[in-house]
A and B are shown apart, each in its own frame.
Chain A
C-alpha cells in the first residue's frame, strides 16, 4: 500500500511517549554537571546527595503529600513488584488475604499470581462493572479480617476507565490493617484534576508515560509502612532499592512531572476535543465499530473494536499509512485470545479479539484525528 501520509502520527501514547526536549535538556545538563555519586563523601558527592533528596521533597510537594517518602527505581513494573511483594512478604503474619482486580497490568497480576502460587497467599480478583469501574462498595465487600493489601489501578491502560481512588482510599481509613497500593501510571497528568493521593499508602508512577525517559519511575510510600526489599546491596533508598542513585534521571523525572501537573487541566480539555471528534465518528459508524471505552470519562484512551474487519489488519494498515495505534490483542489467526481487559467488562471473544486502542496526547492535533478518521474510512472500505 502506498504511503498516503508522510508525517508520523503517533496515537500510542499510553504505551510510551516522546521525550520532552525540556526533560532531555535537564538530563543532559545533569549528566555533565552533577555526575558525582550521591553516596560519595567528597564535596561533589555531597552536592549530588543534596540535590537528589531535594528532588524527592519537590516531588512530594507537587502531589501535596506530607506523610510519604519516595523510592526511585527503574519504572512501574519494579514499583508494582516492590509494593505488592514487599507488603505481602513483610506483613504475612498479619494475614494472607490480598485483593486486586482482574484487569490490572501484568506487572501487578503476575506479582499476585506468584504470591498465590509460591507463597500461599489467597487473592480475590475483583471484576469491573460494564463501564470498567471498580466501585468502593465492591472493594469493601471483598475485605476479610485477614486482608492485608489491596492493589488497584487508577486508570486502566487499555480502556481508560477511571476508578474512584480517593473514595476507596478514604473508605480504607476505617481498616488500618489494610495497605492500599495504587498503580497511577496512566493517571498522572492525564485527568481533569489530579487525584488526591494522601490516603493512598503506596503509589506507582512512571516517567515515560508523561514524556520522561524510559527506565525510571518511583514508588511513593507512606513512611510508616515497612517493605521487604527485593534487591539486596549497598542499602541505597533506605535499603529498599540498592543501586547507585541516579541523580540525572531524578532531576529529569521531576521536570516531567512538573510539566505534566502544571498543564494537566488545560491538556485535558484540549485532548477532550480530539477525543470527542473521534468518538463522534465511531458512534456514527456503529455498524463498523463498537466503542469499548466509556464515553466522556477519559479522553486519553479511546478503545474500540472493528466489527467487520480484523482489528490486527486495521492496525497494520494504519501503520503502513504512518499512523501508529495499538491493537491490544496479540492476535494469531489460529489461537486468538483477545484482550483480557475488554473481556473483563463483559465483551465477547469477537469484540475483544478485534480491539484498537487510540491513546491521545496534548502533542496530537485535530488535523491528525481527521487524518485518522479518513484513513480508517478508506481502510475499512479497501481491506478484505
Chain B
C-alpha cells in the first residue's frame, strides 16, 4: 500500500534572488529544522528546487500545521515517492486519488528527469485513463476538484494531491533585524508578525511607566511574544523605564502636546537602542490616522527626531484588517486585556492632531531630555522570550 512519506516544501519569492538563492534555501532549511525540533524521526533534505521533509512514519498533520508558520514557504505538498517506473506511477496515482473526495480531476505531469522514457504528455495519457476506468471521477482540465500532480525527478517520482498554503514571504533572518516598538496593543504584534514574514528578525522595545503602568503589562507582553515565538523562536525584549521622561514632559509642555513629545522621546530612545543593537531600521504598529499621534502631520513631527527608516507594516490597513491578522496569529485576546500602557494614561482630552515642529522643539528646550534619555538607556531591563 502506498502512503504519503514526504512533505515537499515549495519556496516563495526566491526566483528573483539569483546567486543568493542558495543562502536563502540554507537559512530556510535551518528554520525548518528548528521549527520541527520537537518531532523526532524527521529528516530535512535540501534540493535546488524544494526542501523535502521525510516523515519516516510520523503523522503529517501536526508537521504541516507547524510548517505553515514558517516564513519563506509558498506551499506544502504531501507527497508519495515511487520509483521511476510507469507501472508504479499508475498504481500509486490510482490509490492516492481514491482517498480523495470530489467529482472531477486533472493530472498534471512535470518531468525534470529527461532520461525517463515517457514524456509528460505521454505519462498524462497513461495515468488518466487508469483513473477514469477504475473510479467514477470525470476529467475537468479547467477547474478540477482534485489535482493529481506527478513529478518525475532523477531520484524518483513524486506524486501528490494535497497542497497546503504556506506563510509566504522570506525565510526569517534573510532580511536583517529591526528594533520594533511594542506597546501591547492590537497593532504592534501584528506589525511584528508581518515583518517576520518578510524575513526580518525583530528585537522589541517597550516603554514602561510604573506606577502609572502596571507590572501586569509586562506579563501581557511576554504572553504576546510567546505567540510570536511560533515565527521567531527567540525574541529579545528591552524594557525602557519611561516614567521620569513622561513626568518631565507633563511638567514642561501643555497637555495637548504631551503625546507628540512622548512619541518623539520614544523614537529617540528607539533610534539610539537600534544603533546600539545594530538594527538598521525601526518598526512600529502605527496606522495612518488611527489616533492623534498617527495623523500624517503628527508622524512628520514625531519622525523628525531620527533619520533611521521607520517601517510601519500596518500603516495603510484598516483596524478590522489588523484585527483579522491579530486573530490569525492568536494575539488578539491577549492584546485586549485591559491594562493601561504609557499611551493610555495621561491621555489629554484634546491631543494635537496637527502639531507644529517648531512648537514641539520649543517645549523640548525647557528640560534636559538628553540626560533623561541617557539615564533611561542605562537602566534598560532585558528579557528573552523563547
Task: Pick from B210, B339, B346: contact of A320, CB below 8 A.
Answer: B210
Nearest chain B CB to A4's CB is how many angstroms away? 13
Q: A319 near B344 (CB under 8 angstroms)?
A: no
Q: B215 near A319 (CB under 8 angstroms)?
A: yes
Nearest chain B CB to A306's CB is how many angstroms away? 12
| Alpha-carbon distance A318/B211, docked complex (angstroms) | 8
Output the nearest chain B residue to A319 by Cβ-Cβ distance.
B215
Task: Pick from A319, A330, A332, A383: contact of B212, CB below 8 A.
Answer: A383
Nearest chain A CB to B186's CB is how many angstroms away? 15
Nearest chain B CB to A335's CB is how many angstroms away? 8
Task: Pick from B211, B247, B344, B347: contact of A317, CB below 8 A.
Answer: B211
- The B contact surface, by secondary structure, is loop
Output the nearest chain A residue to B340 by Cβ-Cβ distance.
A333
**Which A residues touch B247, using CB under 8 A?**
384
Indicate if B119 sits at the interface (CB-CB under 8 A).
no
Indicate if B250 sits at the interface (CB-CB under 8 A).
yes
User: Most chain-B Cβ atoms within 10 A of its Cβ — which of A314, A317, A333, A379?
Assistant: A333
Indicate if A316 sits at the interface (CB-CB under 8 A).
yes
Q: A313 near B212 (CB under 8 angstroms)?
A: yes
| Alpha-carbon distance A384/B210, docked complex (angstroms) | 12
| Alpha-carbon distance A316/B250, docked complex (angstroms) | 20
Q: Which of B241-263 contact A (CB under 8 A)?
A: 243, 247, 250
Nearest chain A CB to B268's CB is how many angstroms away? 22
**Which A residues touch B345, using CB under 8 A?**
313, 333
**Which B residues touch A319, using CB under 8 A?**
211, 215
Output the nearest chain A residue to B251 by Cβ-Cβ distance.
A384
Q: A383 near B211 (CB under 8 angstroms)?
A: yes
Q: B338 near A316 (CB under 8 angstroms)?
A: no
Q: A317 near B338 (CB under 8 angstroms)?
A: no
Indicate if B214 sits at the interface (CB-CB under 8 A).
yes
**Which A residues touch B212, using CB under 8 A?**
313, 316, 383-384
Nearest chain A CB to B48's CB is how many angstroms away? 55
Nearest chain A CB to B213's CB is how many angstroms away? 8
| Alpha-carbon distance A319/B215, docked complex (angstroms) | 9
Q: A333 near B215 (CB under 8 angstroms)?
A: no
Nearest chain B CB to A103's CB is how many angstroms away? 24
Check A314/B346 contact, CB under 8 A, given A332-B340, A384-B247, A384-B250. no
| Alpha-carbon distance A335/B344, docked complex (angstroms) | 12
Nearest chain A CB to B185's CB is how many angstroms away? 13
Indicate if A1 sits at the interface (CB-CB under 8 A).
yes
**Which B residues touch A1, using CB under 8 A?**
210-211, 243
Q: B215 near A384 (CB under 8 angstroms)?
A: no
**Which B residues touch A320, using CB under 8 A?**
210-211, 215
Q: Which of A255-269 contact B (CB under 8 A)?
A: none
Interface mask (A358-384 → B, CB under 8 Å = 1, otherwise 0): 000000000000000000000100011
- Number of B residues near A (Cβ < 8 Å) is 16
Output the nearest chain B residue to A335 by Cβ-Cβ distance.
B338
Interface mask (A298-328 → B, CB under 8 Å = 1, otherwise 0): 0000000000000011101111100000000
Check A333/B211 contact, CB under 8 A, given A1-B243, A384-B247, A384-B250. no
Nearest chain A CB to B66's CB is how many angstroms away? 36
User: Most chain-A Cβ atoms within 10 A of its Cβ — which of B211, B214, B247, B338?
Assistant: B211
**Which A residues touch B340, using CB under 8 A?**
312, 332-333
| Alpha-carbon distance A335/B336, docked complex (angstroms) | 13
Q: Which of B126-181 contact A (CB under 8 A)?
A: none
**Which A residues touch B338, using CB under 8 A?**
330, 332, 335
Q: Which of B42-85 contact A (CB under 8 A)?
A: none
Output the nearest chain A residue to B339 by Cβ-Cβ distance.
A332
Nearest chain B CB to A322's CB is how many angstroms away? 12
Nearest chain B CB to A334's CB is how many angstroms away? 8
Check A316/B215 contact, CB under 8 A, given A332-B338, A333-B344, A384-B346. yes
| Alpha-carbon distance A253/B210, docked complex (angstroms) | 39
Q: A313 near B347 (CB under 8 angstroms)?
A: no
Nearest chain A CB to B254's CB is how many angstroms away? 15
Nearest chain B CB to A5's CB is how many angstroms away? 14
Check A316/B346 contact, CB under 8 A, given A1-B243, A332-B338. no
Check A313/B346 contact, CB under 8 A, given A1-B243, A384-B247. no
Check A313/B250 contact, CB under 8 A, given A333-B345, A333-B347, A384-B346. no
| Alpha-carbon distance A333/B348, docked complex (angstroms) | 12
**Which A residues touch B210, using CB under 8 A?**
1, 316-317, 320
| Alpha-carbon distance A210/B215, docked complex (angstroms) | 28
**Which A residues touch B211, using CB under 8 A?**
1, 313-314, 316-320, 379, 383
Nearest chain A CB to B343's CB is how many angstroms away? 10
Interface mask (B327-343 → A, CB under 8 Å = 1, otherwise 0): 00000000000111000
Q: Which of A317-353 contact B (CB under 8 A)?
A: 317-320, 330, 332-335
Interface mask (B90-125 → A, CB under 8 Å = 1, otherwise 0): 000000000000000000000000000000000000
| Alpha-carbon distance A313/B247, docked complex (angstroms) | 14
| Alpha-carbon distance A317/B347, docked complex (angstroms) | 19
Interface mask (A27-38 → B, CB under 8 Å = 1, otherwise 0): 000000000000
**Which B residues touch A317, using CB under 8 A?**
210-211
| Alpha-carbon distance A330/B216, docked complex (angstroms) | 13
Q: Which of B198-222 contact A (CB under 8 A)?
A: 210-215
**Which A residues touch B346, using CB under 8 A?**
384
**Which B residues touch A383, using CB under 8 A?**
211-212
User: Most chain-A Cβ atoms within 10 A of its Cβ — which of B213, B250, B338?
Assistant: B338
Question: Shortest 8 CB-CB distances between A and B: which pairs?
Answer: A317-B211, A316-B211, A332-B338, A320-B210, A313-B211, A333-B344, A316-B214, A333-B340
A-B contact pairs, 11 of them (CB 8 A): A313-B345, A316-B211, A316-B212, A317-B210, A319-B211, A319-B215, A320-B210, A332-B340, A333-B347, A334-B344, A383-B211
A1-B211, A333-B340 known, 7 other contacts, Cβ within 8 Å: A1-B210, A1-B243, A312-B340, A313-B345, A332-B340, A335-B338, A383-B212
